[in-house]
């Protein structure tokens, strides 16, 4: 327990709910006090998620808490099943039910006989870690519960795992990835965990030829699908030009198809064009060129690598969440137990190219060049065609780098 001056890192439970709300054809039912659900609408709406008639709460009374009475939950499950006929009801615990130890899984198990919808229980109440832990748990639970065994593999189909609605401009990134994979390899996306997907797509995950992991938290789910369906996976996040080329080559290798040469050539030409940055560097004399990146693990790594390729020394790769759910985390990525730690580092930056969230950007002094790249963000409308990933994303990042060199 420590002092938080700004916005706390979202909890595992919050990560679970924003992921589940991206699944059309399902309903999310929270078992806990209603105020949290009402309060959360601002956040989920800001992330572009649709929650009308898809997010419900049971509310709880003191009697429910003291006596451990789950009648309300049972009734709500039956009512939602009957009223909305969803394919799946995700039953999510609250902090209160997690502390009092309500057996949500047990309730879902015996209530499954009473309803047509598939019940999937999430017992995390916000105390098992931050949203990164919640994302990993969601991907795992979704792939364990929803994909149907009889789905025949289809050539040219892939799934995406690890697309979190929390990432700033995630929809733009997904659009860019889909466009690139379509153009370079003629591939088609089935399910996208968890960004604008559906129960039908999740059930059909087994038909994919490859699973593409865009967030480290999705690795365990991809490994499970490899075991269960024999689907290979590629963990590559396309940041920067060489990162994008490598991404296309790895996915191509997994599906046994070489990427369209013209696409690769186009991106490689752009990478070559980066050499002009050395001219700006020379013009700047001995002025040190340094950058810091704050955001999700894969963003920090990917953008950090691209910046280094552009001749900029990356002094801080600041992970916005804990590394608890990250498989084999890179040694140069820092994580912070307390807000005060990253705050101090941000406040000490000068003349730095800073890619970060809105809170961190407000705390860095004016000598820095600031670029919003991660959440939390304060703007209400987020573009869906301006990615950070892929070729277009690298174009944007390069513009910022050039601007910094010319500063």
Partner 1 sequence: MGLKEDAMWKMAEKMGMPKSAIEAIKAKQKNGDKSAMPDMGKMMSMMQDMKGDKKDEMRKMAEKMGMPPQAAGMDGNEILGRLNRLSKVQTIKDVPQLTTALFPGTHCPLMGAAMVAGGIDDCLLVIVGTDECSYYTKSLTINERYGGIAGRCVSVVLDSHDVTFGSTESMHKAFKEIVAEYQPKCVMLVTTCVIEVIGDDYDAIAAELTKQYSIPVMAVHTEHFKCEDHFPGLERAITACAAMMQKQDCDSSVNVLGQRMGNFADTELHAFLAAAGVKLGVQLPSGCTAEEIRRAPAAKVNIVVHDIALPLAQAMQEQYGIPYVYFNRFAAPEKILQAYQHLFDYLELPLPAEIGAKFEECKEMEQKVLPEVKGVPYIYGNTQYECFELNSYLCSLGLVPQLIQSNKLSEANFADIKSILAQTDPYICKAANIAPLQYVYDVLHPWFYMGHEFGERLRRKGIALLHSDPAGKMLGFECSSFMLQAVAKAVADAKKFREEAGL
Contact residues toward partner 1 (CB under 8 A) are 1-11, 13-14, 24-25, 27, 29, 33-43, 50, 52-62, 64-65, 72, 75-76, 79-80, 82-86, 94-96, 99-100, 126-128, 130, 340, 358-359, 362-363, 378
- Taking only Cα atoms into account, the Rg of the chain, rounded to an integer number of angstroms, comes to 22
Q: Which residue, 73 or 221, has its beta carbon nearer to partner 1? A: 73
- Give min distance, CB of 235 to partner 1, in A: 28
User: Which one, 64 or 217, has the nearer CB to partner 1?
Assistant: 64
Contact 213, 140 (CB under 8 A): no
Phi, psi of 157 (to 5 degrees): -110, 140
CB 194 within 8 A of CB 165: yes
Q: Nearest distance from residue 18's CB to partner 1, in Å?
A: 12
Distance CA 297, CA 319 (A): 5
Nearest approach, Cβ of 319 to partner 1 (angstroms)? 16
Q: How far is CA 88 from CA 25, 75, 126, 159, in A?
A: 7, 16, 22, 20
Nearest CB to partner 1, comparing residues 73 and 222: 73
Q: Between residues 25 and 156, which has the closer beta carbon with respect to partner 1?
A: 25
Strand, coil or helix: 106: helix
Closest CB to partner 1 among residues 46, 329? 46
Nearer to partner 1, 30 or 271 (CB): 30
Among candidate residues 270, 236, 277, 301, the one with its CA nearest the CA of residue 394: 270
Minimal distance, residue 351 CB to partner 1, in Å: 23
The SS3 call for residue 26 is strand
| Angle (CA) 159 124 44, round 5° | 65
């Amino acid at each position: 327990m420590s002092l938080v001056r700004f916005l706390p890192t979202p909890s595992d439970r919050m990560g679970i709910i924003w992921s589940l709300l991206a699944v059309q054809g399902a309903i999310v039912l929270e078992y806990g006090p209603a105020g949290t659900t009402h309060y959360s609408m601002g956040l989920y709406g800001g992330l572009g998620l649709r929650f009308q008639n898809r997010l419900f709460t049971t509310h709880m009374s003191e009697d429910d808490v003291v006596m451990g009475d789950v009648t309300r939950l049972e009734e709500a499950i039956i009512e939602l099943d009957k009223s909305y006929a969803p394919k799946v009801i995700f039953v999510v615990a609250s902090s209160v039910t997690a502390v009092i130890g309500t057996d949500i899984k047990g309730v879902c198990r015996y209530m499954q006989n009473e309803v047509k919808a598939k019940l999937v229980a999430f017992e995390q109440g916000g105390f098992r870690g931050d949203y990164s832990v919640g994302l990993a748990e969601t991907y795992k639970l979704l792939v364990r519960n929803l994909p149907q065994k009889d789905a025949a593999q289809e050539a040219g189909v892939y799934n995406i795992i690890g697309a979190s609605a929390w990432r700033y401009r995630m929809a733009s990134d997904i659009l860019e990835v889909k466009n690139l994979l379509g153009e370079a390899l003629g591939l088609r996306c089935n399910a996208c965990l968890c960004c604008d997907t559906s129960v039908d797509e999740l059930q059909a995950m087994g038909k994919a030829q490859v699973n593409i992991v865009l967030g480290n938290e999705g690795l365990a789910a991809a490994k499970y699908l490899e075991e269960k369906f024999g689907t290979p996976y590629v963990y590559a996040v396309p940041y920067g030009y060489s990162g994008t080329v490598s991404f296309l080559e790895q996915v191509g290798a997994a599906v046994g198809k070489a990427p369209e040469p013209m696409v690769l050539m186009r991106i490689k030409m752009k990478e070559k064009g980066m050499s002009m940055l050395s001219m700006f560097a020379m013009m700047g004399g001995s002025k040190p060129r340094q950058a810091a990146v704050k955001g999700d693990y894969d963003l920090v790594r990917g953008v950090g690598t691209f910046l280094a390729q552009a001749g900029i020394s990356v002094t801080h790769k600041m992970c916005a969440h804990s590394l608890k759910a990250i498989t084999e985390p890179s040694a140069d990525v820092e994580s912070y137990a307390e807000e005060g730690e990253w705050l101090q580092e941000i406040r000490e930056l000068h003349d730095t190219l800073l890619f970060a969230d809105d809170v961190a950007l407000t705390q860095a002094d004016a000598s820095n060049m600031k670029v919003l790249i991660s959440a939390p963000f304060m703007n209400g409308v987020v573009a869906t065609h301006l990615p950070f990933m892929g070729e277009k994303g690298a174009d944007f990042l390069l513009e910022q780098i050039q601007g910094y060199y010319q500063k």
